[in-house]
Structure 1
Amino acid sequence: MEHITSTPTAKAPAERFTGDVYLNAIETPSEPARLAAALVRFTPGARTNWHAHANGQTLYVTDGIGLVGTRDGNVVRAGAGQTVKCPAGEEHWHGATDTTLMAHIAMLVGDESGDGTTWLEPVTDEQYAKALATVAR
């Protein structure tokens, strides 16, 4: 057994996120399980770039209200206690609404090269505004 009392908070890299996003690692992928998990906190309007995961991703919202969007225009609004699952290979993004912060635990199973994430271009302000308009406030 290993008891980890705290992990340092890191600002998420600007090349993968828009706005202020903060990460606390929970688990990094390692053999044999390859689980990656992190507590991710998004300030209002902050979001990930478009990305996909080789083995999918599960997002468990712990605080606030967030959005998860896919390339086909599907948008889910999720609040504390709700879970969103993104299937393997699906290009998506996630982040806070424009008025409310959001925190989630992001979980995925990595592959032999690491966490299995392919990072893509930023979500534009227009794409984000359309996602906000798609979901009821």
Structure 2
Amino acid sequence: MSAIFKKGDVITNNYFTGTAYLEMLVPEGTEFNCPIGNVTFEPGARNNWHAHDGGQILLVTSGEGYYQEEGKPAQKLHVGDVVTIPANLKHWHGAAKDSEFVHLAITTNPQNGGTNWLEPVSEEHYNAL
């Protein structure tokens, strides 16, 4: 799979299942007020349910993955898809079981706060997709 941006470092917090990588392209706290991270998920990797105080935009650049809002069916994501996530909406995103998945994660309205991490997406829930 060809990469547009550097893969970055392995994410070592407890908010992901499987292996994922992060390369910040525009760091937080800069004059641009628009943090952008390149996130790479290995097949089957995903983040926990979470919500962003200021919202988020995802731009899919490689592979196939999923995005799901609480109470709605998961959406399959492909290269070129754009997901706009309103502030405080509980959701998760990650790779399909058989595909690496890469997206740019754009933090919107960072002055409103950060990310509120919640419970992991269960194996049972994920495997039912």
CA 1:49–1:33 in 2, change beyond 3 Å: closer, same or farther?
A: same
Counterparts of 1:1-137 in structure 2, within 5 Å, are 9-30=8-29, 33-109=32-108, 110-111=110-111, 113=113, 116-130=114-128, 132=129
Equivalent residues, number: 124
Q: Distance in 2 between matches of 1:81 and 1:121?
A: 28
- Report the identity percentage: 35
Q: How big is the alpha-carbon RMSD for the aligned residues of Structure 1 and Structure 2?
A: 1.9
Higher-Rg member (1/2): 1
Deviations 1:26-59 (A, max 9, x none): 1122265421111100011000011100111110
Deviating 4+ runs (over 4 angstroms)? none
Q: Larger deviation: 96-105 or 73-82?
A: 73-82
Are 2:53 and 2:112, in contact at CA under 8 Å, matched by a contact in 1?
Answer: no
Flag structure 2 segments of 5+ consecutive residues without an equivalent: none
Q: Distance in 1 between matches of 2:61 and 2:16?
A: 19
- The code of the aligned residue for 1:37 comes to I
Q: Distance in 1 between matches of 2:63 and 2:47?
A: 16
Partner-residue secondary structure (3-state), 2:64? strand
CA 1:23–1:31 in 2, change beyond 3 Å: closer, same or farther?
A: closer
- The code of the aligned residue for 1:11 comes to V
Q: CA deviation at 1:89?
A: 0.5
- The code of the aligned residue for 1:34 comes to N
